[in-house]
Structure 1
Amino acid sequence: MSKIDDIKELLLNAFVNFADVLEIEFRSEFSVIDHGGQCFIIVSIQLDDEFTIRLNGVDTVRSGFEPTKLFNISNAKIVGFIPIDGKKGLLGFGDSHCDFIFFDETDFCFVEFKLNATSPRKVNKNRVDAIGQLKNTIGLFDKKLAKNYAGLNLEAYVCTPEFYPRFNASWQELAQDFLEENGILLFERNDKTCK
């Protein structure tokens, strides 16, 4: 049994609606977008501002594509994707949780989008809010899974606009505190290269 099968079984036993929200992606490169308060894997991108997502099992074209508001996954073999927030998310609307998780044979990753800020002044507030949402989700998953992630490495991501001043002293302090408190590496980036 692979680690992906192991974590899928653990999640299936922990969450009653897990099978309804899990998507398995086999493409080596793909992107995730937050559209209407729900995260989706992008099936395809058209030439203009349109993109295709899978909505209720049906490929659906949407407009308003913004390439700067994506989380990109590359070098993947097989990835499990679970939207957390939103109408069709694992946890739905309610408490403040991260936007989605994904996992492969090596890593289990929690991701929070904070891509709608229009000025660098909101950097720390957005970072702190995102970290709170990640902590809430990690705490819930730790409890539901009894901290058993099938031997996968845990990572957390805060996705911010490119104009944010990244890797500054403020961020480094937040990331260090997060690591010390949760034992999980925290990244401020909009992409993941799988191992």
Structure 2
Amino acid sequence: MSDDAPSTDDDAPPTDDDPADPLAWETLDSAVAYSCPGFDVRNEAVRLPDGTETEFDYLDESPSVVVLPFTPDGDVVVIEEWRQAVRRVNRSLPVGGMEPEDEDRAAAARRELREETGHEADRVEFLTSVEPANGIANALLHFFVARGCTPTAEQELDHNESIRVDTTTVEELREHIAERETRDGRTTLGLLYYEAFGTAEE
């Protein structure tokens, strides 16, 4: 079985309006209002179902991968990273945007794991895809489980990444989530989804 799950229409954000649905908005115009590394702010002129014409702004960004990495002993590889928006160190799973050179989502997951933690996986398994904030963003997160992760490479951090690597047990990570010590939404969703449903290969 391939590391990557087959792509489906459900995995990609919609690119066209759906005029068949009476709730659908009609997009009249679309332009980037502001651009920065990581995302754009897009401004669109839209027509609502009642005929009202107005504007809508949202964050426009590339899909990302989230990796739940397990060592051969069953521990979880986590990162601790400074997050300027909330002014604190954030404990989380490795996360990063897909790059044009990535062959597929699984390749992106392997690359992000290696770059952020220096670990490489024996295999990766697709978990799920979610739209975490589709009221304000077209962000799409692809979750993967990585098995047999060992520290065989050097970190390759971006200029604005401040990251240290640690390991923990599943039980400790779950407890940190329960006690609200881990507040990262991607980490919370990734672990709880995995514990509830596992992967397609399990």
Scaled to the shorter chain, the TM-score interval is under 0.3
Query: Which structure shows the higher helix fraction?
Result: 1
Tell me the TM-score normalised to structure 2 length.
0.24
Query: Which structure shows the higher strand fraction?
Result: 2
Larger-Rg structure: 2
